[in-house]
Copies of this chain bind each other. A is one copy, B any other.
């Protein structure tokens, strides 16, 4: 029996979930819904919530109340535990499963961070993002008076410090020096090294590439200088879509085991993310 997965929200991430689901032999598309559709009309085993992050909690509640599992890539780091607390009782009462913060950060990077802290408990992990587009900073740049369109790139400088390269396309008659000054004073940019560059077309720069360089130097037992590094260079929505499909699979597995509730990726056995038999996976991966 295939898992019937529906998609709610059909932007970059929704489209990537569609591709990942169609490429998965154990998944079947149960429909694509827009965020102004009534979610009560969705008939599926699991719904991938691909709406803007702030709309995720309400949609998740509504679907979980009907016993439908949900997966999302809710990405406000400081609010993930609170969302889990909010949704856990609803999932449990309705004997279903909800996987939250299932993207690459939060998400697969979180799994790497947890693993590295377990195997070298004392030490510092630095997560260096990019080069890639920052959604939050791009939105903040677009909000500056005189900016028609913008793109804020995050450039990793190591030890968790980032440079912002902000490309701006100006409205007719706007003055670049004024825009630059306003932007550099904005709270989103005031604390980082920021460069503002005027371009004639943001559209020509668009690219969904992103990356991570995650490093940890830690102590195992009494032994210092244990060094670890995780790098990736990826298409951002494609990776997020694939993680959502993998977590939808894990949700089905946990529900089948009556392990109801709301989980982040560090609470899921990695094997549950994969299709195929236990034997074949253990023989090929362990």
Partner of A269, one of B232, B243, B268: B268
Provide the bound-state CA to CA distance between A122 and B275, in Å: 12
Interface size on A (CB < 8 Å)?
A: 67
Q: How many copies does the complex hold?
A: 2
Asked if B111 contacts A115 (CB within 8 A), the reply is yes
Chain B residues near A159 (CB-CB < 8 A)? none
Does A241 make an interface contact (CB < 8 A)? yes
Asked if B233 contacts A220 (CB within 8 A), the reply is no
Chain B residues near A120 (CB-CB < 8 A)? 239, 242
Interface string of A236-257 (1 = CB under 8 A from B): 0011011101100000000000
Instruction: Give me the interface of A with B, judged by CB distance under 8 Å.
Output: 16-17, 19-20, 22-24, 77-78, 80-81, 84, 101, 104, 106, 108, 110-115, 117-122, 219-223, 225-235, 238-239, 241-243, 245-246, 264-271, 273-274, 279, 281-283, 285-286
Question: Can you list 18 A-B contacts (CB < 8 A)?
Answer: A16-B220, A24-B121, A80-B282, A108-B119, A111-B111, A112-B230, A114-B271, A115-B270, A117-B285, A118-B273, A120-B239, A121-B242, A220-B238, A223-B235, A225-B235, A226-B238, A228-B232, A267-B271
